[in-house]
Amino acid sequence: MTTETSALAANAATPVAPSNTAHPLVMSIILAVGGAHLINDMIQALLPSIYPMLKANYHLSFTQVGLITLTFQITASLLQPWIGMYTDRHPQPWLLPSGAVMTVLGILLLAWAGSFPAFLVAAALIGVGSSTFHPEASRIARMASGGRYGLAQSTFQVGGNTGQAFGPLLAAAIVVPYGQGNVAWFVLLGLLSIFVLSRVSGWYRGHLAATRGRARVLAQHSLSPATVRRALVVLALLVFSKYFYMASFTSYFTFYLIDRFNLSVASSQLYLFLFLGAVAVGTFVGGPIGDRIGRKLVIWISILGAAPFALLLPHVGLFWTGVLSVIIGLVISSAFSAIVVYAQELVPGKVGLIAGVFFGLMFGFGGIAAAYLGHLADLYGIAWVYGLCAFLPLAGVLTVMLPNLKEA
């Protein structure tokens, strides 16, 4: 992160790429990339949703379950910053449908895989598809925003969160009762995504042609490169705390509910759906609120505000576990859209690189957390892991170190 933040900070006060604020809001394009994001993340959510089934059928350990997640997350996180940096200079509209093709190949392999190494390859293919999707789709959402960056980013992001919420439900309805081969039904969603993204790529090419040769603009703040660098490091640490904590839900919440409250796999998936649904709602609300009251305040409220509820969660019964998980999902989820837009305002003109870095950090920290927390669960038990993770949202106090961009 040090090299990346230094390069980003050095560019913060230099002339940047053409501004998109002169263009009107194109909500149909934002909704299209949001819909593709829904499909992309629904397929991603399918993977952890069938972990209990794979663990039982193939006698996997928690460590192996964590390594499957790590393979997916690391594959996605390592490629995204490089793709974003390259496409900032050389936009590639064809990358969007191409990434969806890789995701479809991953689904097909996951449907018929019969060994731990095959699961790793399937996870890697889905990760490659994700890495080509997020930087470019985030850039297109910003292009179509008409200057309402928080609205565009949160609408784009809520598509992914909604997909994450419905993934476990579809897995519980289609895959868990009828077997692993039924994963192949998700190929239909992948083909729909390829079609939608092919149409979006056509708009993207037209937008690039219309803005070619436009005068370049200066950054909207006067922060020094050192201040920008420090702010980016703080944002990375906030993403670390948020997604380490989120990984305890996305990968292990079903196991926690089964272990502590003796729920069935299907019942535990419903609780996971409630949490992920709350995440989707919080994500959508966070962007427009950030446009109005400032993104720094949203980051404050989102991460640190979840801490009291996170600390209570490991010590309550099933009913309050459900209630607290929904509150935590609502509160903590609004941070990511605010963090991405705040970082793009820190380093204007590097939309793809910023999106790639922060989506990459999201996947990377989530993958490392899944593997590490799985190892801790093998050693100490899943309930102990939730007691430990409850302290992570306290890292929200680091927000005090972020500069106020409006004042700057």
Q: What are the sequence ranges of the domains in the chain?
A: 2-401
Query: Is the Cβ–Cβ distance between 282 and 333 less than 8 Å?
Result: yes
pLDDT in tens, 73-109: 778 777 777 777 787 777 778 888 888 999 999 999 9
- One CATH from 3.10.20.30, 2.60.40.10, 1.20.1250.20, 1.20.1290.10 for 2-401: 1.20.1250.20
Residue 284 confidence (pLDDT):
77
Residue 211 confidence (pLDDT):
67
Residue 212 confidence (pLDDT):
65
Distance from C-alpha of 55 to C-alpha of 71, rounded to nearest angstrom: 16
Distance from C-alpha of 139 to C-alpha of 282, rounded to nearest angstrom: 22
Residue in the structure block whose two tokens are 């990984």: 247
- The tally of CA atoms less than 13 A away on the side-chain side of residue 264 is 6
Helix (H, G, I), strand (E, B) or coil at 217: strand
Walking along the chain (408 residues) 10 residues at a time, the average pLDDT comes out as 47 43 74 91 82 85 84 78 77 84 91 89 90 83 80 81 79 82 89 92 81 54 81 86 84 88 85 85 77 79 88 93 93 80 79 71 71 86 89 88 69
Residue 4 confidence (pLDDT):
46
Asked whether the whole model's pTM tops 0.85, one would answer: no
Residue 120 confidence (pLDDT):
92
Distance from C-alpha of 388 to C-alpha of 384, rounded to nearest angstrom: 6
Neighbour count for residue 65 (Cβ, 10 Å): 25
DSSP string, 67-98: HHHHHHHHHHHHHHHHHHHHHHHS--TTHHHH
Residue 362 confidence (pLDDT):
67
